[in-house]
Amino acid sequence: MKTQLIQKYIQYTLDHNSTPQSVYLFAKHLDMVEQDFYNHFASLESLESHIYQNWFEATMEQCSQSEPWNSYSSREKVLSVFYTFIENLKSNRSFVQFLKQRDWKPSLQWPAYLKGLHQSFLSQIQPILSEGIATKEIEERKFIDSKYVEGLWLNFLFVLKFWIDDTSNAFEKTDAAIEKSVNLAMDLMGKSPLDAALDFGKFLFQNK
């Protein structure tokens, strides 16, 4: 029922070019009892927060069930999630653009309806990064590696906004943005010449 309510909410918004003004009016539009709505969502805002979250969780399930997933490196898994999420959003592009125009202001704070997405992103991507640390693909850095996932979240927001505004054929520029930004992020999380210099300095200090 939650999925059906979300689909009806998206359809209502696209048909009216505005979101429902209240739960009562939305329930009336659906010929349902208002109380039935509250059995699934506490408010219209709660419903909105579940939309992106559901899309992301569906993407993670799709990726994890693909045949080569278990053989992927952490970098390949992150790239796969980014590409698949954007691909899946294409069928709801008009709704995504509506929300962006309504709420996404030029500030450091992302819209409230992305709260559920943020929580799911952190919980689903962190194990991928932890796996990379375990295999030495990603460098373990005290006090810093715990922040890697938040850095990827900002990367994810950048890609989402880039795609919403992308007018290139088949969104080719978004594909390039994903490839370049994710590869840069993963390179920065990997071992760098600075790490080698610090290791050498530590060695010299311990053996002077």
pLDDT digits 0-9 by tens, 88-139: 999 999 999 999 888 877 655 678 889 999 999 999 999 999 999 999 999 9
- Higher pLDDT residue, 199 or 51? 51
Length of the chain: 208
Separation in Å, CA 185 to CA 4, 103, 119, 150: 37, 27, 20, 11
Using the predicted structure, report yes or no on whether residue 165 has a pLDDT greater than 90. yes
Looking at beta carbons, which pairs linking 85-88 to residues 24 or more positions away fall under 8 Å? 85/55, 85/56, 85/59, 86/159, 86/160, 86/163, 86/171, 86/174, 86/178, 88/55, 88/58, 88/59, 88/62
- The predicted structure's pLDDT at residue 143: 84
- The predicted structure's pLDDT at residue 192: 74
pLDDT bucket at 42, cuts 50 / 70 / 90? very high
Instruction: Locate the domains of the chain by residue range.
Output: 1-41, 46-192
Residue among 95, 114, 4 at smallest CA distance from 50: 114
d(CA 92, CA 125): 23
Using the predicted structure, report yes or no on whether residue 196 has a pLDDT greater than 80. no
| DSSP SS3 for 1 | coil
pLDDT bucket at 1, cuts 50 / 70 / 90? confident
CATH superfamily of 46-192: Tetracycline Repressor, domain 2 (1.10.357.10)
- The predicted structure's pLDDT at residue 112: 85
Q: Say which amino acid occupies 84.
A: T
- The predicted structure's pLDDT at residue 142: 84
- The predicted structure's pLDDT at residue 179: 96
- The predicted structure's pLDDT at residue 204: 65
Q: Average of pLDDT values for 50-67?
A: 96
Note the Cα 200 to chain centre separation in Å.
38
- Higher pLDDT residue, 7 or 207? 7
- Higher pLDDT residue, 86 or 144? 86
d(CA 20, CA 25): 7
Percent of the chain with pLDDT over 90: 80
Where are any strands of DSSP class E within 33-178? none
Cβ neighbourhood burial of 88 (10 Å; 0-12, 13-18, 19+): middle
d(CA 97, CA 173): 17
Percent of the chain with pLDDT over 70: 91
Which helix or strand (DSSP H or E) is residue 16 part of? helix 2-16
Report whether 56 contacts 117 (CB < 8 A).
yes
44-48, 96-100, 204-208: segment of lowest average pLDDT: 204-208
d(CA 145, CA 133): 9
